[in-house]
């Protein structure tokens, strides 16, 4: 006879008494009670729509354009050139993308 037998005996007694004792015993013994055949409470979310081939190609072009714009507007140490801002980099990147 090990600890599980005592748990089951207490569970049987609690079941006959209306579950009150069984829940206290389960909390004391820290043994999980598994409930089966219960509908899932979590709603399944639909998969996100796959990006189209042209959208992915546009992303690739814009990425290359930003890389080129950053190369032109930054110093070797990576700082923006004097008088330039992130907005200037983005504007140049969009212009470069139109030419691709």
pLDDT digits (tens, 9 = 90+) for 3-44: 555 555 555 555 555 555 555 555 565 656 666 665 665 567
Contact between residue 69 and residue 84 where contact means Cβ atoms under 8 Å apart: no
* Residue partners of 51: CB distance under 8 A and separation at least 6: 59
pLDDT tens-digit readout, 59-85:
999 999 999 999 999 999 999 999 999
Beta bridge partners of 80: 74
What is the pLDDT at residue 53? Answer: 94
Give the Cα separation of 16 and 93 in Å (integer): 74
Q: What average pLDDT does the chain have?
A: 78
Contact between residue 23 and residue 14 where contact means Cβ atoms under 8 Å apart: yes
User: Does the reported pTM lie above 0.95?
Assistant: no
């Amino acid at each position: 006879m090990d600890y599980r037998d005592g748990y089951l005996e207490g569970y049987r007694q609690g079941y006959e008494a209306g579950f009150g004792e069984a829940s206290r015993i389960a909390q004391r013994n820290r043994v999980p009670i598994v409930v089966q055949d219960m509908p899932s409470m979590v709603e399944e979310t639909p998969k996100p729509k796959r990006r189209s081939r042209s959208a992915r190609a546009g992303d690739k072009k814009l990425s290359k354009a930003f890389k080129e714009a950053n190369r032109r507007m930054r110093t070797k140490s990576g700082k923006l050139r004097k008088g330039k801002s992130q907005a200037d980099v983005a504007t140049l990147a969009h212009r470069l993308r139109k030419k691709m």
